[in-house]
């Protein structure tokens, strides 16, 4: 799996980056990395949006941050590795709905997202998990 990343310079003082899951992701009751580690060192704000198209299965997402340089993504089944810490609470996305969560990334070097289902299995379609970053120049 690889992210699809688009970077833009909006003005002399503002830049943005959009990272989204570039491939379909098989989800189960065990966490799967849906947004690979992204360098967020130059951004102050992140907004995560998840779109759940399944009519009967809810998702739980977790956002992780790190101050370490470029560590691999946190473990998917066990607790996150020592390089990563969860940012904020779990994010719940009900069946056939979407959720949007904004967080401050000030002082972070990396960010990634992992998702699991509440029950059974499902496929998160490519482009249904997005991280939008905004920073000043």
CA triple 25-106-111, angle to 5 deg? 15
| Domain enclosing residue 122, as ranges | 3-136
Considering only residues 137 and 124, tell me which one the structure prediction assigns the higher pLDDT: 124
Mean pLDDT over residues 103-127, rounded? 91
* Residue in the structure block whose two tokens are 């779109």: 51
CATH number of the domain residue 33 falls in = 2.60.120
pLDDT digits (tens, 9 = 90+) for 43-69: 999 999 999 999 999 999 999 888 887
CA–CA separation, 47 vs 38, rounded Å? Answer: 13
pLDDT digits (tens, 9 = 90+) for 8-44: 888 888 999 999 999 999 999 999 999 998 999 889 9
CA–CA separation, 130 vs 137, rounded Å? Answer: 22
CA–CA separation, 111 vs 123, rounded Å? Answer: 22
Number of domains in the chain: 1
CA–CA separation, 9 vs 137, rounded Å? Answer: 9
Joined together, the tokens standing for residue 75 give 């473990």
CA–CA separation, 47 vs 105, rounded Å? Answer: 10
The count of residues in the chain is 137
Pairing of strands 59-66, 129-136: unpaired
């Amino acid at each position: 799996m690889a992210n699809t990343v688009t970077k833009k310079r909006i003005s002399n003082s503002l830049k943005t980056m959009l990272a989204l899951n570039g491939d379909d992701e098989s989800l189960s009751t065990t966490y799967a990395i849906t947004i690979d580690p992204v360098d967020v060192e130059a951004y102050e704000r992140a907004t995560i949006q998840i779109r759940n198209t399944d009519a009967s299965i809810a998702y739980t997402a977790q956002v992780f941050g790190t101050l370490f340089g470029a560590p691999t993504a946190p473990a998917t089944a066990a607790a996150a590795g020592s390089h990563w810490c969860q940012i904020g609470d779990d994010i719940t996305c009900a069946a056939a709905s979407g959720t949007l969560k904004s967080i401050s990334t000030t002082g972070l070097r990396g960010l990634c997202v992992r998702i699991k289902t509440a029950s059974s299995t499902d496929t998160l379609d490519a482009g249904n998990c997005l991280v939008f970053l905004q920073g000043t120049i």
